[in-house]
A and B are shown apart, each in its own frame.
Chain A
């Protein structure tokens, strides 16, 4: 079951993601996500996402809804969202890795 889209997603992204979904690029997140694996993988994200503020170009991804996280990462992987840094990161993430990251970040707190 897909969760409701969080309010913070932009209209532009909705259109892009909607297109990606129509192309069959986006599916439901896996149920048995490996949170420990996600925590390990999250170290790569921490390089850029660990000190985000509300006006950052690099968004805060801690506490992000799982479904939203999965959709955005898959859209980057499909190059349906721009930014080559995120595309390069996402292209080598399989569905298992994306689900694991989503499960971890859903409850992760931004480092103080």
Chain B
């Protein structure tokens, strides 16, 4: 593999720098030098793809990662920060090792994609040409999916569904609650980032309140869905650890979520009005703006892909991985994004350097903490079947499992966090 790539692409292209320090090459032509891969988004999908393409191509491919933030705080495990099991710093990673791995990291916002010219325009005006583009922008929130909610309203009623200041705001509000206060969570409709996430978060809310000695505080989940991920084991755990504290309402119970009023602090359903001390609104979601603007999405708001390669069905030079993609049976998770990125990286290398291609295979596991040392998991292997990514060999935690097994699950999840963080960021 490496012999072939070195033989074909030993020539180093001369790159010029603009005043912004951004890489600009004259014309996107493979014949002129090293092929160029540009990656938008430095999260689990984008950073994994960048590192694997750079590492496995041994310098034969010029890899540029465009990510506005200099550090990345993971959304995965942020619920453990909410519950007081992790500090915020432990979730934050830099790009030092990504750079050391041969990836050019450009800390700028990708403003648009010119698919005809095959180049990305940065917010500062710089242009970054590509031979293959991998788009991993994650999700954007559809604030108006909940009437009365907005980006501004999120300062009062946090969503905390993107890592950063929102998560810290949620924790601040949670820690300020007094016994007898009420929390209302508006859960998102499918499809959304991290299917068990809202329910793990509620578990962490309850853990914090219980630890503070609250006897009268209550948590209401208003859900637009009739069922949710790992529902049986979550419900069992709530009854065991937090009896009477958590009430989950499906549409048959609440009759419909009418919206929120940030001025009065109210949450309205068809059945009743709530005036909780803390409202956590997790709205509907769609692919990140740059993917939508580039026409990579369909009517669902997410990006259709070829199941065997993660290549966009809209543009053969573009790949989409992670939460922005429509990945069949795979949930929107960091594990999925990391897994999809490796398939895309392998196909991109094969197309650009004639390295060996292998059949796509994907995997995912999601761990969720209900209470200290009580952790549940769900997962599967995935493969393309008739053009769609299909699950096989799936598993999920069962009711009445031993405390030892659940404790082992928690330790495993912490070790997984360390493993996947190293795999993504180095």
Q: What is A's interface to B at a CB cutoff of 8 Å?
A: 36-37, 40-41, 43-44, 46-52, 56-58, 84-85, 87-89, 91-92, 111
Contact indicator A46/B379 (Cβ below 8 Å)? no
Decide if B365 is an interface residue (CB 8 Å cutoff).
yes
Contact indicator A40/B419 (Cβ below 8 Å)? no
On chain B, the residues within 8 Å of A88 by CB distance are: 363, 379-381, 393-395
Closest to B392 in A: A92
* Per-position 1/0 for B354-367, Cβ under 8 A of A: 00101001010100
- Compute how far the CA of A52 lies from the CA of B418 in the bound complex, rounded to whole angstroms: 8
Chain B contacts with A in 349-401, Cβ cutoff 8 A: 356, 358, 361, 363, 365, 377, 379-381, 383, 392-395
Contact indicator B356/A36 (Cβ below 8 Å)? yes
> Given contacts A51-B422, A57-B408, A58-B415, are A44 and B361 in contact (CB under 8 A)?
yes
CB B143 to nearest CB in A, in angstroms, measures 33
Decide if B145 is an interface residue (CB 8 Å cutoff).
no
On chain B, the residues within 8 Å of A91 by CB distance are: 381, 392-393
On chain B, the residues within 8 Å of A36 by CB distance are: 1, 356
On chain A, the residues within 8 Å of B377 by CB distance are: 84-85
CB A49 to nearest CB in B, in angstroms, measures 6
* Per-position 1/0 for B405-419, Cβ under 8 A of A: 000100110011011
Contact indicator A57/B379 (Cβ below 8 Å)? no
> Given contacts A43-B52, A47-B335, A49-B419, are A85 and B346 in contact (CB under 8 A)?
no
**The residue from A41, A51, A56, A89 contacting B381, defined by CB atoms under 8 A apart:** A89
Beyond A47-B363, A47-B420, 16 extra complex contacts between A and B, CB < 8 Å: A40-B358, A43-B346, A44-B361, A46-B419, A47-B338, A52-B419, A84-B377, A84-B379, A85-B395, A85-B412, A89-B363, A91-B393, A92-B361, A92-B383, A92-B392, A111-B422
**The residue from B361, B363, B393, B423 contacting A50, defined by CB atoms under 8 A apart:** B423
Contact indicator A85/B379 (Cβ below 8 Å)? yes
Residues of B within 8 Å of A, CB-based: how many?
33
* Per-position 1/0 for B216-240, Cβ under 8 A of A: 0000000000000000000000000
Decide if B207 is an interface residue (CB 8 Å cutoff).
no
Decide if B342 is an interface residue (CB 8 Å cutoff).
yes
- Compute how far the CA of A92 lies from the CA of B394 in the bound complex, rounded to whole angstroms: 12
Decide if B280 is an interface residue (CB 8 Å cutoff).
no
Decide if B309 is an interface residue (CB 8 Å cutoff).
no
Contact indicator A47/B423 (Cβ below 8 Å)? yes
**The residue from A40, A44, A51, A57 contacting B363, defined by CB atoms under 8 A apart:** A44
Q: What is B's interface to A at a CB cutoff of 8 Å?
A: 1, 52, 335, 338-339, 342, 346, 356, 358, 361, 363, 365, 377, 379-381, 383, 392-395, 408, 411-412, 415-416, 418-423, 426
On chain B, the residues within 8 Å of A89 by CB distance are: 363, 381
CB A78 to nearest CB in B, in angstroms, measures 13
CB B100 to nearest CB in A, in angstroms, measures 10
Some 12 contacts from A to B, beta carbons below 8 A apart, are A41-B358, A47-B338, A47-B339, A47-B363, A50-B419, A51-B421, A51-B423, A88-B379, A88-B393, A88-B394, A89-B381, A91-B381
On chain B, the residues within 8 Å of A52 by CB distance are: 415, 419
Closest to B335 in A: A47
- Compute how far the CA of A36 lies from the CA of B358 in the bound complex, rounded to whole angstroms: 11
- Compute how far the CA of A49 lies from the CA of B420 in the bound complex, rounded to whole angstroms: 8
On chain A, the residues within 8 Å of B379 by CB distance are: 84-85, 88
On chain A, the residues within 8 Å of B420 by CB distance are: 47-48
- Compute how far the CA of A51 lies from the CA of B93 in the bound complex, rounded to whole angstroms: 15
Closest to A44 in B: B363
Contact indicator B419/A92 (Cβ below 8 Å)? no
Contact indicator B395/A48 (Cβ below 8 Å)? no
Contact indicator B412/A43 (Cβ below 8 Å)? no
On chain A, the residues within 8 Å of B383 by CB distance are: 92
> Given contacts A44-B342, A47-B338, are A87 and B393 in contact (CB under 8 A)?
yes
Contact indicator B416/A58 (Cβ below 8 Å)? yes
Contact indicator A40/B335 (Cβ below 8 Å)? no
Contact indicator A51/B419 (Cβ below 8 Å)? yes
Closest to A111 in B: B422
Most A CB within 10 A of own CB, among B338, B392, B419: B419
Contact indicator A44/B393 (Cβ below 8 Å)? no
On chain B, the residues within 8 Å of A44 by CB distance are: 339, 342, 361, 363
Closest to B52 in A: A43
On chain A, the residues within 8 Å of B421 by CB distance are: 51
Contact indicator B365/A92 (Cβ below 8 Å)? no
